[in-house]
Amino acid sequence: MPKSNRDALTASEILEQLDVSAALRDRLLDYLTAFAASGLAHTRNGRYWRKAAPDLFMATISVARSRDAFAIPIDEVQRKRGDFFISPRSLGSAMHGDVVIARKAGSDRRGESASIEAVLDRVNTTIVGRLTRFKKECFASPVDERLLYDINVTPADSMNARDGDFVNVEITRPPIAGRPPEGKIIEVLGREGEPGIDIEIIIRKHRLPHVFPTRVVQEAEATSGQITLDQIAGRLDLRDELTVTIDGETARDFDDAISVQELPSGRWRLGVHIADVSYYVKEGGALDEEAYRRGTSVYFPERAIPMLPENLSNGICSLNPDEDRLTMSAIMDLDRSGRLVDYKLAPSVIHSRARLTYTEVNRFVLDPADARRTHDVTEMLGRAHELALILIKKAVERGAIDFDLPEAELLFDDDGQVGGIVRAERNIAHRIIEEFMLLANQTVARHIEALAAPMIYRIHEEPNETKIAEFAEIAHSFGRKFSMHGPIPQRGFQSLLRDVEGRPEERMLSYLMLRSMQRARYAAENRGHYGLAMKTYTHFTSPIRRYPDLVVHRILRELIESGRTNPELSGIDMGSRVALKRVAASILDEERERELRASLEQIAAQSSDRERQADAAERELMDWRKAEFMAEHVGEEFEGIISSVKEYGFFVELNEVFVEGLVHISTLKGEYEYEPRKHRLVDARGKRVYRLGEPVIVRVDRVDRNRRLVDFSIASHKG
């Protein structure tokens, strides 16, 4: 927006300059109205220009479990200065998650505060709640406790839902001047305890697209499930080469296959073959639009919400054994030290010889004599294992941080109920596939970047110094030295992880270390990947389940096809950047490159947001199932470790079942003082201290299934 009235623009001119889609036009027009009304913009005779308003800022509303509300600035520079407290009376009609214009309102003991001037984007168009019925009225209480209002529903808009039913409510009027919002029920989801009700609630709560529109289904069904000679023509034919897939036992779609050879020269030749989803999902089609909207597949223990319809994700795009499949291959030659010396990226066709599982491959690595596959497959697995160990060693040398955080795995009984929670195994077979995929991703990223072509990067920015200092303080309290000084700052993290390996505090410190870092995300601009210690990285290996990978495939295909007649692109050495840049100008025309660059930033932001939503949904369901499991163990005792200390008590993570619960300060005998710098609660008489990392034995007192909260009390002290 222009800064003076001399350069003022009409709304139409602003929309034209921003080059927005028709779907966004109405929203941006509403933004302009809100900007002008709140003082962020001047308007006269239908023309707009920016107004200096240092006390106004755009923010996202976040409500904590304590029901305190905060405005989190959207601007990156402002965000580093901290959040702004919002009192209930200053919240207006805004709700958790909404995008707003806020006004700075001074500071007090809680820090800087603000009030809401305008709501730009109402996120909570629908809310999941439990219905309460009276004779002539009813209301839905949100299952998300961060939403502070019950929603009034008239009997006519209740869809005859019963008292206690979980319902999905469309908001027809937001909260105004303290009055609760109004809405109408659009779905009756079911009742507490019904099979799958938790998944249905979480899908709606996180607004996960879960039903494919008719036109998407029709486009998918029109895709042939057969590979033809015409489709194979012009591709690298690798059907005679030994390729296999390695996945979990319950995997249903296979989007990557590998091949490993030892060349006469002594070099390795690693092939990573990825399902050629971009061949079937065309840019701008119904399938593409839906994949963009979903961003990623979402995985729950008993159910997956795929990014693509099943006849693609589990059918023609899945690298099923003993079937021809179209792929994009990264064929990489490495010397005996694991250095990449040559590579080729090409559309291909493969014929996978075997569908292997992580358990099966791990068993072979532990005991090659126990192989239950043909001789050629077992020979290849031996080569794959040897190469993976070399790549792991190189990763450590460059500073890559391996967060081997244990993940919980649910065990179900015959009735489908959670019968146990165990640590999910991560063995050498997982590492083999991880290292091979990392190398393929990096190779593709470096190739596209060397061509100076637009791309979506997977970035992981350097950690915030303040958070690292806080983590170093915690590590020191455990007697662990931690420093990021030196040419490779990641060495400090590596050293600490080695020191705590196998120790009781390993899981907690690894988790806190991860939390001290920034979150990896997608971006159209390269900022490197700190955790992997890579200067250039992207996601290429999972186009069935991640939209950015699909986009990278399209860009790579376009580059390959545009440069196919140029011999400089065939089998080029990784060091030959000059040769690559010489042909860059002939790869993409100016208009296409401008179009790509304009769209990639939005795609990266959307994909990062959908990834966060999927992660949050998967994590919440796991917490829900953990609470259900613990509800059957009220009164029992468990060993655990203090994982976090607050002024109101401390959290304990149980050793065996991966469940965290709160020991409230009110359950402790004596008067306790909170010492935040030392991460501990101290008895005023000095007789008892509860500190971070201390092993304890707790009793399960209460479980709130719906809020996924577990309350403990101290049963006895270990040691």
Most confident range (mean pLDDT) of 251-255, 354-358, 513-517 is 354-358
Contact in structure between 638 and 626 (CB atoms under 8 Å):
no
Q: Phi, psi at residue 672, to the nearest 5°?
A: -115, 145
pLDDT of 569: 39
Between 326 and 148, where is the model more confident? 326
The full length of the chain comes to 719
Tokens 């007789």 belong to 687
> Averaged over 627-648, what is the pLDDT?
93
Between 526 and 134, where is the model more confident? 526
Comparing CA positions, the residue from 381, 375, 519 lying closest to residue 458 is 519
Pairing type for strands 126-133 and 47-50 reads unpaired
603-636 tens-digit pLDDT: 999 999 999 999 999 999 999 999 999 999 999 9
User: Within 13 Å and on the Cβ side, how many CA atoms surround 240?
Assistant: 2
Distances (CA, A) of 136 to 158, 631, 660: 11, 35, 42
| 3-state SS class at 339 | coil
| 3-state SS class at 645 | strand
When mean pLDDT is compared across 37-41, 168-172, 336-340, 376-380, the lowest value belongs to 37-41
Distances (CA, A) of 310 to 315, 326, 451, 554: 7, 17, 35, 21
472-494 tens-digit pLDDT: 888 888 888 888 877 888 999 99
50-64 tens-digit pLDDT: 666 778 888 999 998
The contacts of residue 688 (CB under 8 Å, 6+ apart) are 668, 670, 682
Q: Using 50, 70 and 90 to split pLDDT, how confident is the model at 413?
A: confident
Mean per-residue pLDDT over the chain, rounded: 88
The whole-angstrom separation of Cα 241 and Cα 257 is: 12
Outline where DSSP puts E strands in 454-505. Answer: 457-459
Amino acid identity for residue 426 in this structure:
R
Assign residue 399 a region (left: φ > 0; alpha: ψ between -120 and 50; beta: otherwise): left
Amino acid identity for residue 155 in this structure:
P
Instruction: For residue 109, count CB atoms less than 10 angstroms from its CB and return exposed for 0-12, middle for 13-18, buried for 19 or more.
Output: exposed
Q: Is the pLDDT of residue 16 over 70?
A: no
Q: Is the pLDDT of residue 428 over 90?
A: yes
Contact in structure between 659 and 709 (CB atoms under 8 Å):
no
Pairing type for strands 660-664 and 709-717 reads parallel
Q: Is the pLDDT of residue 325 over 70?
A: yes
> Averaged over 412-416, what is the pLDDT?
79
Chain-centre distance for alpha carbon 360: 29
> Averaged over 421-425, what is the pLDDT?
84
pLDDT of 369: 77
Contact in structure between 604 and 555 (CB atoms under 8 Å):
no
Contact in structure between 150 and 175 (CB atoms under 8 Å):
no
Q: Using 50, 70 and 90 to split pLDDT, how confident is the model at 553?
A: very high
Distances (CA, A) of 329 to 238, 447, 524: 9, 13, 23
> Averaged over 322-340, what is the pLDDT?
96
Instruction: For residue 262, count CB atoms less than 10 angstroms from its CB and return exposed for 0-12, middle for 13-18, buried for 19 or more.
Output: middle
The contacts of residue 427 (CB under 8 Å, 6+ apart) are 358, 359, 362, 365
Q: Using 50, 70 and 90 to split pLDDT, how confident is the model at 579?
A: very low
Q: Phi, psi at residue 522, to the nearest 5°?
A: -95, 145
> Averaged over 440-460, what is the pLDDT?
95
661-717 tens-digit pLDDT: 999 999 998 899 999 888 899 998 767 899 998 999 999 999 998 788 999 999 976
The whole-angstrom separation of Cα 539 and Cα 379 is: 29
pLDDT of 392: 96
| 3-state SS class at 70 | strand
The whole-angstrom separation of Cα 417 and Cα 398 is: 45
Contact in structure between 541 and 440 (CB atoms under 8 Å):
yes
321: its two tokens: 């054994």
User: Within 13 Å and on the Cβ side, how many CA atoms surround 292?
Assistant: 17
Helix (H) or strand (E) holding 137: none
pLDDT of 184: 97
Instruction: For residue 698, count CB atoms less than 10 angstroms from its CB and return exposed for 0-12, middle for 13-18, buried for 19 or more.
Output: buried
Where does 632-712 have alpha helices with state H?
none
Bridge partners (DSSP) listed for residue 716: 697
The whole-angstrom separation of Cα 71 and Cα 101 is: 9
pLDDT of 26: 67
pLDDT of 348: 97
122: its two tokens: 């109402």
When mean pLDDT is compared across 50-64, 371-385, 432-446, the lowest value belongs to 50-64
> Averaged over 362-367, what is the pLDDT?
89
For helices 286-294 and 547-562, the axis angle rounded to 10 degrees is 130
pLDDT of 322: 95
Q: Compute the radius of gyration of the chain from its Cα atoms.
A: 28
Contact in structure between 295 and 607 (CB atoms under 8 Å):
yes
Check: pTM over 0.85? Answer yes or no. Answer: yes
578: its two tokens: 């000059």
DSSP 74: S
Considering the chain, what percentage of its residues have pLDDT values greater than 90?
59
DSSP 176: B
Outline where DSSP puts E strands in 282-372. Answer: 298-299, 304-305, 324-334, 340-351, 354-357
Bridge partners (DSSP) listed for residue 675: 680
Comparing CA positions, the residue from 671, 678, 673 lying closest to residue 694 is 678
Contact in structure between 420 and 409 (CB atoms under 8 Å):
no
Pairing type for strands 649-654 and 637-646 reads antiparallel
| 3-state SS class at 670 | coil
Assign residue 449 a region (left: φ > 0; alpha: ψ between -120 and 50; beta: otherwise): alpha
Q: Is the pLDDT of residue 46 over 90?
A: no
pLDDT of 288: 97
The whole-angstrom separation of Cα 231 and Cα 298 is: 31
Q: Is the pLDDT of residue 576 over 50?
A: no
The whole-angstrom separation of Cα 88 and Cα 95 is: 11
Alpha-carbon dihedral angle through residues 262, 263, 268, 269, given to the nearest 10 degrees: -100
